[in-house]
Amino acid sequence: MMPSHDFRAPRLFVDAPLAQDARVPLDRDQSNYLGNVLRLAAGAEVLAFNGRDGEWQAAIEGRKRPDGLVILQQTRPQDRLADLTYVFAPLKHARLDYMVQKAIEMGAAGLQPVLTRFTQASRVNTERMRANVVEASEQCGILSIATVAEPVPLERFLSQRAAGRLLIFCDEAAEVENPVQSLQGAREAGQGIDVLIGPEGGFAEEERALLLRQPKILRLALGPRIMRADTAAVAALALVQTVLGDWGGKTP
């Protein structure tokens, strides 16, 4: 049985190998967070992870302020996320932050922004997205760090994606049917899953026609109401994780 997550202990993502007795330096932001925000001093223990080596108990080192960690023992082995990529038209500022955080909490292994005809945000700060990925992973006990891809036009994404992957196209114009039954019918349809949510203005007709020509595609309606894109992200990922993903206890 997998050890349970300790929600009381602070968690810290570190970009360094983790093993017993290893020493890991802290950057300025991490030192400030531990010392000035959490008021932790040398000897206090935190949990450290790097997305590769599992989660480890670690003790803070440093005389005047926290400047490093000494790794003590592993608390959880590394896991593997379901092969699920969240593909989306970027939103602006705080709503994009929210969308990224929720996608990570829902178990997405990759984030792929795509630019469509009606995409509202012309610039995408991928470094800010990566910071949100790390923060959500730290706060929610997630061991694997999702990848963040650079934005590409929708047409390029479709031309470059692996043909064997299932594309779940969440379309506000699709006929409303039971989404669970639709997903169950696609259980053996592909190797990996891409979940696509469009912009607030919806897809242009030529984009919808291009999408419907893709191999291994499932056109999915998310109920009788129009959702905001960040709400649709949570709804779609919850459905996919329940039927095809890792919410059933096994990583597909």
Exposure pattern of 37-67 as b/e (b: 16+ CB <10 Å)? Answer: eeebeeebebbbbbbebbbbbbebbbeeebb
pLDDT category at 1 given cuts 50, 70, 90 is very low
Give pLDDT, residue 69. 97
How many CB atoms are located within 10 Å of the residue 206 CB? 10
**250, HSE (Cβ side, Cα atoms, 13 Å):** 3
Top pLDDT among 138 and 191 is at: 138
What are 163-211's pLDDT values in tens digits?
889 999 998 878 888 888 889 887 765 589 999 999 888 899 999 999 9
pLDDT category at 73 given cuts 50, 70, 90 is very high
Instruction: Round to whole Å and give the CA distance between 131 and 105.
Output: 14
Surface-to-core class of residue 124, CB atoms within 10 Å of its CB (0-12 exposed, 13-18 middle, 19+ buried) = middle
What are 33-63's pLDDT values in tens digits?
999 999 999 999 999 999 999 999 999 999 8
Tokens of 130: 């990566």
Q: Is 80 helix (H, G, I), strand (E, B) or coil?
A: coil
Give pLDDT, residue 102. 96
Helix ranges restricted to H, the chain: 28-32, 93-105, 126-139, 154-160, 179-184, 205-212, 229-243
How confident is the model over 217-242, as a mean pLDDT? 92
**Domains defined for the chain, CATH in brackets:** 11-76 (2.40.240.20), 84-244 (3.40.1280.10)
Q: Is 111 helix (H, G, I), strand (E, B) or coil?
A: strand
DSSP 8-state secondary structure symbol assigned to residue 244: T
Tokens of 18: 């983790």
Give pLDDT, residue 58. 97
**Whole-structure pTM value:** 0.91
Instruction: Round to whole Å and give the CA distance between 78 and 19.
Output: 12
Q: How high is the mean pLDDT of the chain?
A: 91
pLDDT category at 2 given cuts 50, 70, 90 is very low
Q: What percent of the chain lies above the pLDDT cut of 70?
A: 95
- DSSP codes of every residue in 159-219: HHS-TTSEEEEE-TTSPP--HHHHHHTTTTS-SSEEEEE--TT---HHHHHHHHTSSSEEE
